[in-house]
Structure 1
Amino acid sequence: MKAQVFRGVNQLSYEEIPMPEIAPDEVLVQVKVVGLCQSDIKKIRYPLYEPPRVFGHETAGTIAAIGSEVKGWQVGDRVIVLHHIPCMHCAYCLNDNFSMCDVYKNITTTAGFAPSGGGFAEYVKVPGHIVRNGGLMTIPEDVTFEQASFVEPTNCCLKAVKKAQVQPGQTVLITGAGPIGLMFIMLVKHFGARAIATDLIPSRINKALEVGADAAFDARDPDLAARVHAMTDGIGADTSLLAVPSEKAFFQALDCTRKGGKILFFAEFPDEVEIPINPNILYRREIDLMGSYSSSFRVQRLAAEIVFNRRIDVDALVSDRYPLKDLAIAVEQAVAPTPETYKILIYP
């Protein structure tokens, strides 16, 4: 089968590799579409993992083969593939910190080599642990593979919204109106809150308004904090969601967030970045700083329901579609986006 094999930093090789062989408790899925995620791009462009590997994890496809011990699934079933499932009984899982679970981190889907997601291939193997514990979800007939591929990123964003305890009537500042920021806008609106977005690209500012933001501003606007305060009776946003890894965006959020509010780090910053802050700012203003990484099994079914029932318009997020052989071109576009670049989908 064909796959895009990571052979080193910024080295993707479109090549023929062996079809994964499945054990009695495993499932083989033919990949129909896989989303290109910022975490995939980071793994391709930085020396974080030893090659060779096949990345890609926002996967939707059709079951091509099932092991003899697998129950409840048939060849031809249309499915979402969840690349991580927690153990459900370690200390992290018992505290709902599923993404910290060792099983969650270390057991994943694969197309070959060291298991690393495997979605950037024609077929991906789903381990028994994931098959047995909810890692395959049926795609309804009226939902496209493209739409279904958004369930995983929706889960990640939904987890953050839930962690920040966004409530109806609140105001949420979202820094960055790329595909993740736009999804945050949709989810914030879905839960009855107001959304204020910022970005540097005029077309993304307009796009934020198109998908439901109550206001959208240029992140370079020197009056940004004043504008946010003017929209919130002078107190500021209840919550700020950092959807871009920007030190400036953090300090803007600090200026825009009300006393007693929350700032949530969603985008991953480069490891060398350090943000100096006077702790008395957090103490005196009672600001909560928090992070949200990856997905949560707790909200998986809700994420699927939101996508499947079109509570948010994921189709509006798609800007580009590439065949698998052009993955390297897609990565370059994502790294240096055009004004109209949002979510990029890949087709094996």
Structure 2
Amino acid sequence: MKAQVFRGVNQLVYEEVPTPEVAADEVLVQVRVVGLCQSDIKKIRYPLYEPPRIFGHETAGTIAAVGSAVQGWQVGDRVVVLHHIPCMHCAYCLNDNFSMCEVYKTITTTAGFAPSGGGFADYVKVPGHIVHHGGLIRIPADISFEQASFVEPTNCCLKAVKKAQIVPGQTVLITGAGPIGLMFIMLVKYFGARAIATDLIPSRIQKALDLGAEAAFDARDPDLPVKIQSLTGGLGVDTSLLAVPSPKAFFQALDCTRKGGKILFFAEFPDEVEIPINPNLLYRREIDLMGSYSSSYRVQALAADIVFNRRIDVDALISDRYPLRELSRAVEQAVAPTPDTYKILLYPDHG
């Protein structure tokens, strides 16, 4: 089979690799579409992992082989593949911190070499732990593979919305109107809250409005806090979701968040970034700072429901489609996006 093999920083080689063989409790999935995620880009462009590896994890496809001990699944079933399933019994899992679980963090879906997701290949092997504990989700007949590939990123955003306890009637500031920020806008609106978005690109500001933001502003607007105060009765927003890794965005959020409000870090910052802050700003205004990393097993079924019942418009997030052999070109576009670049999807060539 063909796969995009990570051979070093910024070195992707589209090459022939052995098709994985499945054990009795495993399943082999033919990849039909895989989303390009910012975490994939980070792994490709920085020396974080030893090569060779095959990345990719926002995967949807068709079951091509089933191990002899697998029950409930058969060849031809259309599925979403989740690359993270927690152990459910460690101290983190028992406190609903599933993304901190070591079993969760140890990726085991693979297309070869050290297991690393495996979606950037013709086929990906799903280990028994994931097969038997909810890591395969059946795709309804009326849902496309493209739409289904959004279940995992929807889970990640949904986890953050739930953690910030966003409820009807609240106002939420979303910094950044890329694919993640736009998904936040739709989820915030779905849960009955009002979304205000910021971005640097005019087309993304307009896109935010098109997808349901009550207001959207240029992030460089010096009057942004005043405008948000005007939209919120002089209070400020209840919650700010940082969908871009920008210290300026954080301080902007601090200026725009009401007393007693929350600021949630969703985008991952470079490790060398440090943000100096006077702790009395948090103390006197009772601002809660929190982070939300990856997905949550707890909201997995809800994420699938939201996508499969079209409660948000994931199709509106897709901007570009590439054959898998052009992954390098897709990465370059994601790193230097055009004004109309949002979510990029990739497709293996099965002939």
Normalising by structure 2, report the TM-score: 0.99
Deviation for aligned residue 1:64? 0.1
Alignment of structure 1 residues 209-220 onto 2, 5 Å: 209-220=209-220
Q: Deviations over 1:221-274 (max 9, x none)?
A: 000011111000001000000000000000000000000000000000000000
What is the RMSD computed on CA atoms of the aligned residues? 0.4
SS of match in other structure, 2:117: coil
Partner of 2:97: 97
Question: Aligned letter for 1:30?
Answer: Q
- State the 4+ residue runs in structure 1 displaced beyond 2 angstroms: none
Partner of 2:44: 44
Partner of 2:7: 7
Matched-pair contact (CA < 8 Å) for 2:107–2:117: no
Partner of 1:189: 189
Partner of 2:227: 227
Question: Aligned letter for 1:342?
Answer: Y
Question: Aligned letter for 2:210?
Answer: E
SS of match in other structure, 2:185: helix
Question: Aligned letter for 1:86?
Answer: P
Alignment of structure 1 residues 256-271 onto 2, 5 Å: 256-271=256-271
Matched-pair contact (CA < 8 Å) for 2:27–2:125: yes
- Aligned counterparts of 2:182 and 2:250: Cα–Cα separation in 1: 18
Partner of 2:120: 120
Question: Aligned letter for 1:187?
Answer: L
Alignment of structure 1 residues 152-231 onto 2, 5 Å: 152-231=152-231
- Aligned counterparts of 2:117 and 2:226: Cα–Cα separation in 1: 44
SS of match in other structure, 1:244: coil
Question: Aligned letter for 2:159?
Answer: K
Matched-pair contact (CA < 8 Å) for 2:25–2:70: yes
Question: Aligned letter for 1:70?
Answer: V
Deviation for aligned residue 1:2? 0.3
- Aligned counterparts of 2:107 and 2:335: Cα–Cα separation in 1: 28
Partner of 1:281: 281
- Aligned counterparts of 1:328 and 1:227: Cα–Cα separation in 2: 41
Q: Count residues in correspondence.
A: 348
Mapped pair 1:299 → 2:288: no
Partner of 1:68: 68
Question: Aligned letter for 1:27?
Answer: V
Deviation for aligned residue 1:107? 3.8
Matched-pair contact (CA < 8 Å) for 2:26–2:67: yes
SS of match in other structure, 2:79: strand
- Aligned counterparts of 1:34 and 1:107: Cα–Cα separation in 2: 17
Mapped pair 1:16 → 2:11: no
- Aligned counterparts of 1:283 and 1:247: Cα–Cα separation in 2: 20
SS of match in other structure, 2:216: strand
- Aligned counterparts of 1:296 and 1:37: Cα–Cα separation in 2: 17
Question: Aligned letter for 2:57?
Answer: H
Identity of aligned residues (%): 86
Deviation for aligned residue 1:68? 0.4
- Aligned counterparts of 2:228 and 2:9: Cα–Cα separation in 1: 41
Mapped pair 1:146 → 2:155: no
- Aligned counterparts of 1:290 and 1:108: Cα–Cα separation in 2: 28
Q: Deviations over 1:130-172 (max 9, x none)?
A: 0010000100000000000000000000000000000100000
- Aligned counterparts of 1:9 and 1:98: Cα–Cα separation in 2: 30
Question: Aligned letter for 2:268?
Answer: E
Q: Which runs of 5+ in 1 are unaligned?
A: none
